[in-house]
Amino acid sequence: MKAGIVKYLSGVVVGVCFAALTGGAWAAEVPFNKAQFDQDVAAGKPTIVYLHATWCPTCKIQTPIVERLSTDPKLKSVTIFLADYDTEVALKKSLKVTQQSTFVVFKQGHEVTRSTGQTQEPAIRATFEQAL
């Protein structure tokens, strides 16, 4: 029994270490922070704002797709800011976003594209790749 627990814990430790070591290899999916967003856009970093709502059925379809794409090595340099549509009123106003389930994509400090209501992974991927 103890050997089984030790083997399990060893696997957990290896998994945690692997995740920690490779963490920088994936796109960052982070809660929206205005100061960080402004800094990233000003620095010309590839940035996406995802305005979503917990009650939105389209967002519920998009969220696992966004999570999968955030682990794609091709998108490792992209920061995906998750912004709550209901609480980020100033952000919505500044970006002129009128609907949840919207992706706003920035490249080299400028908005390059946006998508609202898209639920197909290949189309969302193509939108995200515009940041590269």
pLDDT score of 26: 56
pLDDT score of 7: 37
pLDDT score of 25: 44
> Per-residue DSSP letters for 31-58?
E--HHHHHHHHHTT--EEEEEE-TT-HH
pLDDT score of 22: 37
Show the low-confidence residues of the chain (pLDDT under 70).
1-26
Taking every pair of C-alpha atoms in the chain, what is the biggest distance, in angstroms? Answer: 59
Q: H/E element holding 107?
A: strand 102-107
Q: From residue 52, how far is each of 3, 15, 21 by CA, in Å?
A: 46, 30, 30
Q: pLDDT digit string (tens) for 48-77?
A: 999 999 999 999 999 999 999 999 999 999
Domains in the chain with CATH codes: 26-129 (3.40.30.10)
- Quick one: what percent of the chain has pLDDT higher than 70? 80
pLDDT score of 56: 98
